[in-house]
């Protein structure tokens, strides 16, 4: 069985990359590159049948298709022009290759003649009388095309799996290949509705960016096949049932973002239109088709009534990201994918600037720091997260040491110089260099020399400053200091490092460059003053200090933390943390195995000490960063003696934050104003309830109860739903769960359904968890696309971890055939289910599991499985090294921290402390 045959259809338009439309009326319409505006397509009904075996007659791989396109005539014409390329048409009933009928049964003109106009790629249809304006017609054709391996249109992709050759039929319509798949009005303005039926061998999977509306097993031309019908709707951009108004936010911000980008790049928007469509079931977050960006529905649609502010931020940043590509990526395109990091890093960097312009009150620019902090479980299966975040971080550093104005001048030069052509990364450095020289900017070397060290060398440096001597050194940051560097570097892992630093609260005026492995900067010999290097974390490196300086920094944090910039406070904890995944912050190594070895720069107790000042912290970024990092401790410790002391400690830390938000929201009757305050309110409630703060639990339970009593009127603010649902389901039992389940089944909005879906995994009732897991085997209960995410959510629940692991092992065969091949979420399920593994027994179970299933292999999860084994080993080692120290620390700290805090501030300490 050709398990892996996947037929994918993505219907996209981009601008016709052709000229010649000079408005010269003398040329025949079929010699012009642009369609006339006489006909407007409304809907396509397309049936495609890719043959995954060679056609015995021609020896080719082919596909056959049938298409009905319905269009409206808006100007009378005797001609139908429709794009078509490399398609052979079947003569219908011994007459013509097309049939034209009138919608609704009226009469249609007869077909006089048809031909293919090769150079302009049209199917031309001459009629014997005029089409009538206002009337709709249908054009029916049958055709055959080659399923070639040319990466264009509907094409063939082959790969090896377990020694077997597999064939996939895939589509790439971008830029002008839709016409190579079916006859179509292949221009950006000609949007339409699509009904696509894919015919494929039974047992294979057909995917499309539209929703599956029907799957049937049937017989066609004597062959048993499965037919999968899908439906996309670029007009509406969403399935029927959406409240109108969900597109308003996207529309509202697109204009300001485009305005910003035009002035930032100093080039006007290169296209005549900018369409953005939301597509249900879209694999990527978005695709930057030029002039027609496609988005995953939840990323583009924002519903003021039910979407959270997080949805809103996602919408504006992703729009800014995709639109940034309209210039950087589409107008000027990097030659090959090895430099995709530049393309993506660039768009990611600029997206924060563009979004900041659209939402100036949100301080979005600083948040880039958090998105470049990525956890290993998110990365295992997403290589591109690395290139996005490293690229963005390196470009942010470049813009910082050049100054933003020099940076954008160089950028604009680059885009103008290379408009409509292709480049390599060096072209960008060279254009920047010209601007640097013209402006006499002083740098320690040419831009390309500086940048190539950051771009071409794996990883990043750690800078160590000894404030007792002023000695400063750099070293390649290695996760496993014992491992050998496997990739030689012509730069010997030395970087030219721009160091902006502050001394006891004062930012030093000049940027200092660390150019060698070891140097001395006597100004950094400070006596009793503290130093903070890499101010605002603009540099792509970590900093370590002598212990005395660390102590002084901690003292500063505990007394007046605001003196240290909030971005540094946010990256603080990551910088110090010693757990295996922490180093992924700046990870660039393609060698995943190395990630899971800890590079212990400082002691775990010192790292933990940096959290104690959080009692006084109300800013979002430091909290978020700390929580991201503590999550690992949580995973490792939640089945050990250290769990309760850690919960107690965390509850004490978060109590003042919880009360702070209670106060500024007038007893939870509203949400705070700022974006990051709204985010941090979620943290306060989520951490408060999770760590057992009774006031928090009463709050969320009461809200949920209120909703249960009146299901049509949800009193819970959209921002808080994910966390309130979870904590209410966790505190509740069957009634809460059943209510959540019925709301989930009835949810009309994807984002609301997904909040409920993750909340249902929060219950502490094992029977409910078990039931929930078993629902994933039944697509009528849990859609297939959601099954792995349900399993992963159950596994992330302390009570559900072992249930999920057992379930995965029991149902392995089903899952492997259903989700295994080509599915990234399958890999994340493996990482999710094994995330807590930290005992010898678990390692043994995992290894047995690997052995038992190695014959069939693990498909797309192969890497994830290997990583799970590696990570389990690293976790075991980490626990052995740190468990006692952590237990002692939590035991000793929690009590006196609270006492001090209660004395220090006017906040009421929780009664049950
Ligand atoms: C061919 O002719 C038959 C009988 O006139 C008709 O039923 C059928 O729909 C025609 N097929 C096409 C493709 O026009
Ligand atoms: C289409 O027709 C041409 C000319 O007869 C032929 O060479 C080509 O192989 C055909 N393509 C397919 C896919 O049948
Ligand atoms: C169609 O057949 C395949 C394989 O024979 C089977 O796995 C699948 O469940 C069937 N689908 C339907 C909708 O009957
Ligand atoms: C879009 O802008 C209009 C006009 O400024 C405003 O009334 C509306 O609330 C905005 N919609 C959203 C979802 O932001
Ligand atoms: C650091 O970033 C903040 C914004 O978070 C900004 O206000 C401040 O000026 C920056 N500091 C330096 C030294 O650039
Ligand atoms: C409560 O908030 C008000 C302003 O909204 C502020 O003045 C007051 O200090 C806050 N109280 C506490 C205990 O945080
Ligand atoms: C919040 O509730 C407390 C006690 O219930 C009350 O004293 C206080 O005035 C309330 N604050 C606001 C802003 O509603
Ligand atoms: Zn991108």
pLDDT in tens, 576-600: 544 343 333 323 232 333 333 345 5
Pocket of ligand 1 (CB under 6 A): 92-93, 99
Residue 486 has pLDDT above 80, yes or no: no
- Check residue 515 and give its pLDDT: 96
Mean pLDDT score of the chain? 81
Q: What are the two backbone dihedrals, phi and then psi, of residue 802, each rounded to the nearest 5 degrees?
A: -75, -30
Same domain, 45 and 183: yes
Question: What's the pLDDT band for 441 if we cut at 50, 70, 90?
Answer: very high
In angstroms, the CA 804 to CA 783 distance is: 18
Predicted pLDDT at 19: 27
d(CA 279, CA 281) in angstroms, rounded, equals 6
Atom of ligand 4 nearest to the CA of 251: 1
Do 290 and 382 have their domain in common? yes
Question: Which tens digits make up the pLDDT trace of 771-807?
Answer: 999 999 987 898 776 888 999 999 999 999 999 999 9
Model confidence band, residue 188 (pLDDT cutoffs 50, 70, 90): low
Structure tokens at 886: 């952590």
Distances (CA, A) of 899 to 660, 889, 907, 908: 18, 16, 12, 12
Residue 175: asked if its preceding bond is cis (omega within 30°), the reply is: yes
Ligand 1 closest atom vs CA 92: 13
Q: Which of 441, 460, 480 is the last residue of a domain?
A: 441
3-state secondary structure of 596: helix
Q: Select the more confidently predicted residue: 27 or 321.
A: 321
Does residue 211 lie within any of the structural domains? yes
List the structure tokens of 6.
């996947």
Place of tokens 């999710």: 832
Kindly list the distances between the CA atom of residue 405 and the CA atoms of 352, 499, 520, 883, in Å, as whole numbers in the listed order. 16, 20, 31, 50
Distance 574 CA to ligand 2 centre (A): 60
Strand 471-476 with 461-466, pairing? antiparallel
State mean pLDDT over 623-642. 86
pLDDT at 633: 86
Domain containing 30 — which CATH number?
2.60.40.1730
What's the CA-to-centroid distance between 664 and ligand 4, angstroms? Answer: 26
Type and span of the H or E element at 9 = strand 6-9
Q: Of the ranges 590-594, 749-753, 755-759, which is most confident?
A: 755-759
**Boundary residue ending a domain (393, 426, 441):** 441
Per residue in 888-912, pLDDT (tens digit) is: 999 987 665 545 444 444 334 333 3
CA–CA separation, 353 and 277 (whole Å): 22
Out of 245, 246, 249, 362, mutate this one to test ligand 4's pocket (max ligand atoms within 8 Å of CB): namely 249
18 vs 51, more confident: 51
Instruction: Please tell me whether residues 208 and 303 are part of one structural domain.
Output: no
224 plus 292 within the same structural domain: no
* Residue-wise burial string across 640-676, b where 16 or more C-beta atoms lie within 10 A, e elsewhere: eebbebbbbbbbbbbbbbbbbbbeebeebeebbeebb
So what's the pLDDT on residue 169?
Answer: 76
Residue 760 has pLDDT above 50, yes or no: yes
Residues 180, 73, single domain; the answer is yes
CA of 217 relative to ligand 3 center, distance in Å: 6
Q: Does residue 387 carry a pLDDT above 60? A: no
- 269, β-bridge pairs: none
Is the pLDDT at 611 greater than 80? The verdict is yes
Pick the closest to residue 225 from 196, 197, 249, 245 (CA basis). 197
Classify 729 as helix, strand or coil: helix
Give, for ligand 3, the residue of 215, 217, 218, 814 to mutate: max count of ligand atoms closer than 8 Å to Cβ.
217
Instruction: Tell me the C-alpha to C-alpha distance, in Å, between residue 791 and each of 146, 769, 771, 858.
Output: 41, 10, 11, 17
In a domain, 131, yes or no: yes
Question: Do residue 229 and residue 305 come from a single domain?
Answer: no
Which whole number is the average pLDDT over 414-437? Answer: 89
Alpha carbon distance 44, 356 (integer Å): 39
- Which residues constitute the domain of residue 18? 8-233
> Does 539 map to a domain?
no
| Closest atom of ligand 6 to CA, residue 907 | 13
User: With contact defined as beta carbons under 8 Å apart, do 337 and 387 qualify?
Assistant: no
Distance, CA of 286 to CA of 254 (rounded, Å): 15
| Exposure b/e, 33-51, CB count within 10 A at least 16 = b | bbbeebbbbbbbbbbbbbb
Q: Could you tell me where the beta strands, DSSP code E, fall in 566-663?
A: none
The residue-averaged pLDDT of 405-422 equals 89
What integer pLDDT is reported at residue 588 of this predicted model? 28
2 lines ligand 3 (CB under 6 A): no
pLDDT level of residue 193 (50, 70, 90 thresholds): confident
Give the integer Cα–Cα distance in Å for 577 and 629.
7
* Residue 730 belongs to a domain: no
Q: Name the residue at shortest CA distance from atom 14 of ligand 5.
A: 536
- % the chain with pLDDT above 90: 46
| Protein residue with its CA nearest to atom 1 in ligand 2 | 88
pLDDT at position 815 is: 81
pLDDT of residue 161: 59
**What is the signed CA dihedral for 53, 55, 58, 64, rounded to 10 degrees?**
-110
pLDDT at 763 over 80: yes
Q: Is 321 annotated as a binding residue?
A: yes
pLDDT at 596: 33
**CB 130 within 8 Å of CB 76:** yes
- The CATH number of the domain where 396 resides is what? 1.10.390.10
Is 349 within 8 Å of 368 (Cβ atoms)?
Answer: yes
Looking at the structure, tell me whether residues 300 and 369 fall in a common domain. yes
Q: Is 695 in the pocket of ligand 7 (CB under 6 A)?
A: no
Query: Do 294 and 435 fall into the same domain?
Result: yes
Q: State the pLDDT at residue 580.
A: 40
Give which of 424, 409, 268, 276 is closest to 342, Cα–Cα.
424
Is 537 among the domain residues?
no
Measured from the alpha carbon of residue 669, the closest ligand is 7
d(Cα 10, Cα 234) in Å, to the nearest integer? 12
Higher-confidence position of 546 and 175? 546
Asked if 839 and 877 count as a contact pair (C-beta separation under 8 A), the reply is: no
Q: State mean pLDDT over 456-467.
A: 86
Exactly one of 142, 146, 322, 339 is catalytic; which is it?
Answer: 322
Is residue 171 within 8 Å of residue 206, measured between CB atoms? no
Asked if 770 and 855 sit in the same domain, the reply is: yes
Is the same domain home to 178 and 297? no
Q: Which residue has the tokens 């940076």?
A: 407
Strand partners, 507: 502
CB half-sphere exposure, 409, CA atoms < 13 A: 14
Q: What are phi and psi of 114, to 5 degrees?
A: -135, 150
The average pLDDT across 606-630 equals 88
- Whether residues 71 and 206 fall in one domain: yes
pLDDT at 831: 87
How large a percentage of the chain has pLDDT more than 70? 79
pLDDT value of position 480: 53
**CATH code, domain with 902:** 1.25.50.20
Q: What is the mean pLDDT of residues 234-243?
A: 30
DSSP character for 908? P
Greater pLDDT, 456 or 758? 758
Residue 215, ligand 3, Cβ within 6 A? yes
User: Between residues 289 and 227, which one has the greater pLDDT?
Assistant: 227
Higher-pLDDT residue of 285 and 674 is: 674
465 vs 519: CA distance, rounded Å: 10
Q: Is 70 exceeded by the pLDDT of residue 639? A: yes
**φ, ψ for residue 492 (rounded to 5)?**
55, 30
How far is the C-alpha of 634 from the C-alpha of 270, rounded, in Å?
50
- pLDDT per residue as tens digits for the range 668-711: 999 999 999 999 999 999 999 999 999 999 999 999 999 999 99
Phi, psi of 327 (to 5 degrees): -100, -60
How far, CA to CA in Å, does 50 sit from each of 2, 47, 812?
A: 13, 10, 30
Residue nearest atom 11 of ligand 3, based on CA coordinates: 217
Give the other-Cβ count within 10 Å of 552's Cβ.
20
**Closest residue by Cα to residue 861 from 817, 891, 831:** 831
Active site residue 322: yes
φ and ψ at 162, to 5 degrees?
50, 40
Q: Are 757 and 790 in contact (CB under 8 A)?
A: yes
Residue with tokens 């649902």: 725
587 located within any domain = no
Give every CB contact of residue 290 below 8 A, 6+ residues apart in sequence: 14, 15, 174, 175, 271, 326, 330
Q: What's the confidence (pLDDT) of residue 211?
A: 55
**How far is it, in rounded angstroms, from Cα 268 to Cα 134?**
37
pLDDT at residue 552 tops 80:
yes
Contact 292, 186 (CB under 8 A): no
pLDDT of residue 164: 75
The answer to pTM > 0.95 is no
Q: Does any domain span residue 145? A: yes
pLDDT band at 5 (very low <50, low <70, confident <90, very high): very low
pLDDT digits (tens, 9 = 90+) for 828-844: 888 899 999 999 999 99
Mean pLDDT for 856-881 is: 83
**Residue 601 pLDDT:** 63
Least confident segment among 284-293, 542-551, 893-902: 893-902
pLDDT at 189: 53
Q: With a cut of 80, say whether residue 152 has pLDDT above it.
A: no
522 CB-side CA count, 13 A: 0
Mutate to test the pocket of ligand 4, among 243, 248, 359 (most ligand atoms within 8 A of CB): 248
- Is the Cβ–Cβ distance between 546 and 473 less than 8 Å? no
- Best-predicted range by mean pLDDT among 285-294, 357-366, 841-850? 841-850
Task: Single out the residue in 401, 420, 441 at which a domain terminates.
Answer: 441
* Assigned domain for 564 exists: no
146 lines ligand 2 (CB under 6 A): yes
Average pLDDT over residues 223-227: 89
Domain identity same for 787 and 872:
yes
Number of domains in the chain: 3
Distance 145 CA to ligand 5 centre (A): 58
Find the distance separating the first CA and the last CA of the chain, reported in whole Å. 62
**13 or 553: which leads in pLDDT:** 553
**How far does residue 357's CA lie from ligand 5's centre (Å)?**
17
CB 265 within 8 A of CB 327: yes
Structure tokens at 70: 């319905």
């Amino acid at each position: 069985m050709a398990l892996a045959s996947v037929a994918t259809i993505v219907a996209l338009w981009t601008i016709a990359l052709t000229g010649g439309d000079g408005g010269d009326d003398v040329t025949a319409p079929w010699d012009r590159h642009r369609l006339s505006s006489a006909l407007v397509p409304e809907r396509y009904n397309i049936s495609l049948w890719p043959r995954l075996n060679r056609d015995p007659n021609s020896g080719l791989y082919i596909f056959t298709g049938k298409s009905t396109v319905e269009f409206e005539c808006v100007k009378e014409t005797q001609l139908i022009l429709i794009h078509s390329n490399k398609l052979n048409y079947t003569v219908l009933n011994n007459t013509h290759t097309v049939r034209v009928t009138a919608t609704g049964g009226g009469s249609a003109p007869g077909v006089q003649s048809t031909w293919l106009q090769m150079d302009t790629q049209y199917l031309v249809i001459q009629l014997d009388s005029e089409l009538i304006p206002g009337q709709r017609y249908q054009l029916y054709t049958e055709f055959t095309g080659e399923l070639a391996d040319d990466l264009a249109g509907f094409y063939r992709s082959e790969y090896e799996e377990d020694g077997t050759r597999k064939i996939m039929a895939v589509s790439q319509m971008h830029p002008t290949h839709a016409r190579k798949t079916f006859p179509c009005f292949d221009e950006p303005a000609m949007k339409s509705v699509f009904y696509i039926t894919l015919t494929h061998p039974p047992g294979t999977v057909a995917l499309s960016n539209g929703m599956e509306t029907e799957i049937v097993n049937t017989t066609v031309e004597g062959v048993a096949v499965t037919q999968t019908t899908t439906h996309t709707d670029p007009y509406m951009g969403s399935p029927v049932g959406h409240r109108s108004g969900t597109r308003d936010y996207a529309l509202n911000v697109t204009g300001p973002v485009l305005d910003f980008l035009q002035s930032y790049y100093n080039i006007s928007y290169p296209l005549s239109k900018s369409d953005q469509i939301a597509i249900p079931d879209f694999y990527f977050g978005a695709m930057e088709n030029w002039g027609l960006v496609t988005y995953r529905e939840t990323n583009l649609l924002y519903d003021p009534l039910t979407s959270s502010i997080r949805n809103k931020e996602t919408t504006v940043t992703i729009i800014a990201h995709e639109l940034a590509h309209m210039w950087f990526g589409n107008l000027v395109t990097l030659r090959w994918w090895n430099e995709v990091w530049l393309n993506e890093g660039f768009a990611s960097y600029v997206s924060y600037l563009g979004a900041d312009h659209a939402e100036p009150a949100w301080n979005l620019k600083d948040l880039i720091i958090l998105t470049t902090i990525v956890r290993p479980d998110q990365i295992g299966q997403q290589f591109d997260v690395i290139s996005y975040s490293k690229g963005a971080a390196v470009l942010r550093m470049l813009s910082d040491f050049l100054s933003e104005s020099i940076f954008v001048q160089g950028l604009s030069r680059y885009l103008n110089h290379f408009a409509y052509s292709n480049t390599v990364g060096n072209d960008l450095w060279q254009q920047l260099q010209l601007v640097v020289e013209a402006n006499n900017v002083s740098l320690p070397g040419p831009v390309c020399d500086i940048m190539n060290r950051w771009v071409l060398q794996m990883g990043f440096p750690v800078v160590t400053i000894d404030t007792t001597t002023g000695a400063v050194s750099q070293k390649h940051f290695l996760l496993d200091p014992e491992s050998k560097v496997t990739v030689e570097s012509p730069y010997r892992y030395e970087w030219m490092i721009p160091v902006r630093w502050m001394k006891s609260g004062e930012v030093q005026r000049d940027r200092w460059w660390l150019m060698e492995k070891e140097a001395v900067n006597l100004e950094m010999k400070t006596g009793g003053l503290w130093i903070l290097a890499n101010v605002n974390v603009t540099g792509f490196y970590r900093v370590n200090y002598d212990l005395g300086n660390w102590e002084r920094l901690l003292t500063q944090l505990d007394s007046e933390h605001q003196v240290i910039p909030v971005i540094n406070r946010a990256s603080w904890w990551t910088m110090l943390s010693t757990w295996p995944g922490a180093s992924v912050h700046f990870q660039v190594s393609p060698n995943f195995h190395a990630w899971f070895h800890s590079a212990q720069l400082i002691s775990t107790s010192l790292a933990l000490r940096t959290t104690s000042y959080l009692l006084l912290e109300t800013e979002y970024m430091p909290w978020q960063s700390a929580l991201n990092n503590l999550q690992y401790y949580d995973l490792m410790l939640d089945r050990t003696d250290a769990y309760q002391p850690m919960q107690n400690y965390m509850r004490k830390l978060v109590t003042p934050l919880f009360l702070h938000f209670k106060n500024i929201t007038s007893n939870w009757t509203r949400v705070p104003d700022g974006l990051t305050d709204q985010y941090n309110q979620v943290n306060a409630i989520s951490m408060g309830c999770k760590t057992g703060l009774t006031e928090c639990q009463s709050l969320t339970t009461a809200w949920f109860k209120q909703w249960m009593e009146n299901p049509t009127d949800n009193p819970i603010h959209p921002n808080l739903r994910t966390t309130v649902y979870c904590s209410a389901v966790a505190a509740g039992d069957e009634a809460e769960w059943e209510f959540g389940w019925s709301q989930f089944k009835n949810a009309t909005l994807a984002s609301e359904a997904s909040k409920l879906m993750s909340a249902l995994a929060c219950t502490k009732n094992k029977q409910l968890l078990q039931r929930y897991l078993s629902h994933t085997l039944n697509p009528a209960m849990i859609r297939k696309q959601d099954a792995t995410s349900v399993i992963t959510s159950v596994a992330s629940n302390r009570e559900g971890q072992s249930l999920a692991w057992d379930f995965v092992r029991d149902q392995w065969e089903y899952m492997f055939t259903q989700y295994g091949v080509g599915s990234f979420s399958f890999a994340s399920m493996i990482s999710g289910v094994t995330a807590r593994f930290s005992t010898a027994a678990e390692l043994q179970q995992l290894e047995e599991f690997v052995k038992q299933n190695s014959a069939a292999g693990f498909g797309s999860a192969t890497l994830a499985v290997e990583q799970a084994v590696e990570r389990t080993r690293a976790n075991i080692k980490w626990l052995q090294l740190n468990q006692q120290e952590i237990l002692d620390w939590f035991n000793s700290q929690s009590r006196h921290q609270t006492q001090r805090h209660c004395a220090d501030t006017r906040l009421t300490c929780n009664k049950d402390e």
